[in-house]
Amino acid sequence: MNKIVFATNNANKLREAAEILAPLGIEVISQREAGADCDPEENGATFAENAMIKVKAVYDIVKIPVFADDSGLCVNALDGRPGVYSARYAPKGQECAKLLEEMKDIPDNNRAASFQCVIAYMDEKGIFTVNGGCIGKIGYEEKGTNGFGYDPVFVVGDKTMAEMTAEEKNALSHRGAALRALYEMLAKG
């Protein structure tokens, strides 16, 4: 295999995946580059269900190996929200502000959260899933300019994900962990 389709058109996700899978000598291309102009409805109840919906929709069009991810932020004090609805939690660009507003009265010892990611992979042999997670907490303000989504408010150690370099983030992010698990599966053949 020399080419794999990532069922996304998100440039940030595509860059992360290409960096992690590069040592395998596999070119990672977007679904648009592969000719899959579709946007399947992500109506699953779990990250795994949504990833499978996306991977099947794109694979049915391109018929070459495809992987798709679904991920989100799970905040303990909010009973796991926004969770599977992370992308639809607030209008684009307002996710962090809404989350900080909801968390404004939550004390530091109850701000635990995790990013979760499930990757579904599909080829002519079938489908499998891998997952990854990253544990941290929700900060009190947006910090940093690297990253996207909830990265400016998700704190690991003493930095938000948006304050980390791409290398630092890839080393501990939920998507990085899931991509490394995918890497291991692909490396085994």
Per run of 10 residues, the mean pLDDT along the chain (length 189 residues) is: 89 88 93 93 94 97 97 96 93 94 96 97 96 97 90 96 89 90 91
What pLDDT was estimated at residue 86?
Answer: 94
What pLDDT was estimated at residue 100?
Answer: 97
pTM attached to this predicted model: 0.88
Written as six digits, the tokens of 11 are 């440039």
Q: Please state the domain count of the chain.
A: 1
How far apart are alpha carbons 7 and 36 in whole angstroms? 8
**Selection from 101, 85, 86, 110 nearest residue 142 by Cα:** 101
Q: Which residue has 């940093």 as its token pair? A: 144
| 39 annotated active-site | no
Residue 76 DSSP symbol: G
What pLDDT was estimated at residue 119?
Answer: 98
Give the DSSP H/E element, type plus range, for residue 167: helix 166-172
| Edge-first strand listing for the sheet containing 66-75 | 27-30, 3-6, 66-75, 112-123, 126-138, 154-156, 159-160
Active-site residue, selected from the candidate residues 70, 108, 123, 158 = 70
Query: Domain containing 52: what range?
Result: 3-188
In DSSP terms, 112 is beta-bridged to: 137
Q: What is the CATH number of the domain that holds 50?
A: 3.90.950.10
What pLDDT was estimated at residue 74?
Answer: 98
What pLDDT was estimated at residue 1?
Answer: 62
